[in-house]
Chains A and B, each alone.
Chain A
């Protein structure tokens, strides 16, 4: 009954999540709107471009009912540019992910929440060409597998993707040097979903081990901080407000 999997998404689950990303397609046949549990789809009228979740796009593609328009970053020129960024400009961190403005939506009860991947468009034809989205690896694998005839120069793209993957995996491995058990946190901006899924056990394991080694030192530090906080609260509240303003 209970799910025995360890915490953190498995690669298959990451792929499942990625299949909810929106992609642009060119339908080859008409299809009326469908009321799906994942939201209503727009009617398909060839040759008008429209967006669909990846799983549906691939289902239609396999039956030759649609063509998929690959996202702008999945072209050899864009990937070359990203690889250049990844190796020359961001030697210690991942290249910047596409900027997604915070979008608020209201739920059934009117309470607002922030939309996020895979429900913000980062893989449609209007995506940023020189940045890798969160699900870059899975989506490019799936597109190359199911719709390689829609991708320009698929072999060159495959090669570049492999290069990118190696460069980025090396960065994750290097990240270990900066890990610490003190709980201050480590920045992983721009990390991909699959990269995280692969390295999660390792990263959390290292942090857990360091934490055990550092336990006594941390206790001392925590006590000191607690004291400082007490002092600060006692001194004056104006300071606090200033802090928040900056």
Chain B
């Protein structure tokens, strides 16, 4: 039994995906990574739930978390199917060979487990609870983003178009922030296409052609409504020392178009806060700090 596991260990090492190794980190997907990713996911969820606007999509983080969720699901399945009776927690170890992610600890519950049905059941229920909690975070995070996307669909689409134009012009480069994931972009396009088809077939076609546009901006009142940037939010200052939003205030409204950023209302009120302070302020004045991870939304 013991020897089997060791071989499994070695094989698991070898079968690690090449990209994990090429990161130059031997401890890719180690337990500290799981913990830091958990912290970052929790922060991303809280901020997304509290912000009136979409925050940049944490692509790498979500990929890592989803990979870990996948391997955890199959680990739980193996553990459950290996029959709660024996001490056979070796199943997850051999499993590490099959999944592409090469879980770092193929011996989750050690060989000398006191075990018995009860302990396996306990471990199973702990693993399942932990899994459900992470799944809830991911689900709530994504659904919150969908809610914002559908609410301001026209505006976000217009932003995407602008960004594409700038990239064509070569101004943006690869440095521009990605606010949407590929799937979200696809969803947004399909959603808006369906919606405008429906509108035009049900009532817009009865209007005179000049009044059919959904993104009309004549008369100085644009139909596309951006998220309210002046809404009040609560932030806590995380940085050591004094935080100030000077550079966000100084950012001229036109500066965004050069860097390929989205059109954002700039900060208008200068704020200064110290580590640990909690402030009730306007979103536009602190958005820069939140996106840079200097402040957190509460």
Contacts and interface: CB of A to CB of B under 8 A. Distances in A.
B36 A102 contact: no
Interface string B22-56: 00000000011111111110110010011110000
A114 B238 contact: yes
Interface string B225-244: 00000111110101110000
B88 to A, nearest CB: 15
Given A37-B72, A108-B37, A183 B234 contact: no
Contacts of A113: 36, 39-40, 43, 293
A63 B126 CA distance: 12
B50 A39 contact: no
Given A31-B122, A39-B31, A183-B281, A107 B276 contact: no
Contacts of B178: none
Interface string A182-209: 1111111111010010001001100110
Interface in B83-104: 103-104
Contact of B108 (A16, A34, A189): A34
A118 B43 CA distance: 10
Nearest to A112: B293
A113 B60 CA distance: 15
Interface string B125-163: 111011101101000100110110110000000000000
Contact of A196 (B234, B268, B285): B234
Interface residues of B, number: 78
Interface residues of A, number: 66
Interface stretch (A2-10, A71-79, A148-156): A2-10
Contacts of B49: 5, 7-9, 13
B166 interface: no
A102 B279 contact: no
A7 B147 CA distance: 11
Interface of B: 31-40, 42-43, 46, 49-52, 60-61, 64-65, 68-69, 72, 103-105, 108-110, 113-114, 119, 122-123, 125-127, 129-131, 133-134, 136, 140, 143-144, 146-147, 149-150, 230-234, 236, 238-240, 249-250, 268-269, 271, 275-282, 285, 293-294, 296, 298
